[in-house]
Amino acid sequence: METPLETANLNDEQALVAALRAGDDAAFSTLVERYQASMVRIAGIYVADDDAAEEVTQETWLALLRGLDRFEGRSSLKTWLFTILTNRAKTRAARDGRSVRLELDESPEEPAVPSWRFHSADSSGTMGHWTAAGAPQSWKQPEEHLLAAETRALIDAAIQRLPPNQRTVISLRDIEGFSSDDVCNMLSISETNQRVLLHRARSRVRQALESYIREH
């Protein structure tokens, strides 16, 4: 006898939800395979260690299964799942005495690009222009170079060094592919805050990549 999952395209979300509601183990395994690693990574931004991140993720899966009847499809299943995850992670972090502030806890005047990269007022006719050392580096590198393991590792390391608020937003936007509206709703932050946090995070990651390209 065919299950709902076997008769549908796995990318058909309605079919996947129907299969989950029917108790299809293969549908649940498909969902875990797709999102488990990402969920643990996002939970880890909030909680103290890997074990806590794993526990929050398992709690999220249970909450998903128990709450499927309440899923109305107003957002994607992925967005709904990660909203549950971030709420659970925040609750766990608060219980453990941790907090991740997602408002703009840095000075609004903080420049996205360091001032040393521009000519100063003393430079006649060039104020505000890039210095030779500060000018952006070309990213027109061979595709295999940009996708090389060491470059990907550099990006991951740069993201890990970001403040938690920036790391959360760039992870959800640029790694997990959520829209700005999804991230604002998921994290309960304004569009302005989301945009500024994302811009600052991307700027810092770009600076790390530019330094790498200069050296290579």
Alpha carbons 45 and 32: distance in angstroms, whole number: 20
Is the predicted pLDDT of residue 100 greater than 90, yes or no?
no
Q: Is pLDDT larger for residue 129 or for residue 78?
A: 78
| Domains in the chain, CATH or no CATH each | 13-95 (1.10.1740.10), 115-215 (1.10.10.10)
**pLDDT of 133:** 57
Q: Is pLDDT larger for residue 116 or for residue 22?
A: 22
The mean pLDDT of 48-56, rounded to a whole number, is: 94
On average, the pLDDT of the chain sits at 81
Query: Among 76-80, 92-96, 180-184, whose mean pLDDT is lowest?
Result: 92-96
Is the predicted pLDDT of residue 86 greater than 90, yes or no?
yes
Is the predicted pLDDT of residue 56 greater than 90, yes or no?
yes
The contacts found for 87-94 with CB under 8 angstroms, 24 or more apart, are 88/43, 88/56, 88/59, 88/60, 88/63, 89/42, 89/43, 89/45, 89/46, 89/47, 89/53, 89/56, 90/46, 92/43, 92/46, 92/47, 92/52, 92/55, 92/56, 93/46, 93/47, 93/48
- What are the structure tokens assigned to 62, written together? 């249970």
Is the predicted pLDDT of residue 27 greater than 80, yes or no?
yes
**pLDDT of 96:** 85
Q: Is pLDDT larger for residue 213 or for residue 50?
A: 50
Is the predicted pLDDT of residue 171 greater than 90, yes or no?
yes
Q: What percent of the chain has pLDDT over 70?
A: 71
Is the predicted pLDDT of residue 195 greater than 90, yes or no?
yes
**pLDDT of 48:** 86
Which pLDDT tens digit goes with each residue over 110-137? 555 555 555 565 555 555 555 655 555 5
Is the predicted pLDDT of residue 18 greater than 80, yes or no?
yes
